Structure 1
């Protein structure tokens, strides 16, 4: 038990490029259709609403950044 507590790994500092990677978000929007994944109307609607909310959120963040730094 004591050895586990002593072997704490130091946190790796993320670079600017690593901090803003959109790999998971890009994979969510542009992945291939999986034939083994179950498909029903509720699941399709849920993912559609999630995609819309992500897009609106990113547009809002871009608007705030543009308004703050350019206007």
Structure 2
């Protein structure tokens, strides 16, 4: 599985493979990965705002 396909599945952009086995630990792992990707994206957005947008208005 490619990294972009996996990220798309975490963010509910692409449907997951129905033939793939589902275990409880895989659900936990995918949940943690989904959370970490979202927190990373929020942090990137905040950094862009603080380093680019705010200095433009000073």
Establish whether TM, by shorter chain, passes 0.5: yes
Deviations 1:7-64 (A, max 9, x none): xxxxxxxxxxxxxxxxx23x23222132210101100010010000000001001100
Q: Does 1:68 align with 2:51?
A: yes
Q: For 1:32, which of 4, 12, 15 is the aligned residue?
A: 15
TM-score (norm 2): 0.70
Higher RCO, Cα 8 Å, sep 6+: 1
Higher helix share: 2
Of structures 1 and 2, the larger Rg is shown by: 1
5+ long unaligned stretches in structure 2: none
Q: Who is 1:17 aligned against?
A: none
TM-score (norm 1): 0.59
Runs of 4+ in 1 over 6 A off after TM superposition: none
Q: Who is 1:44 aligned against?
A: 27
5+ long unaligned stretches in structure 1: 1-23
Q: CA RMSD in A?
A: 1.2
Structure 2: how far apart are the matches of 1:33 and 1:65? 32
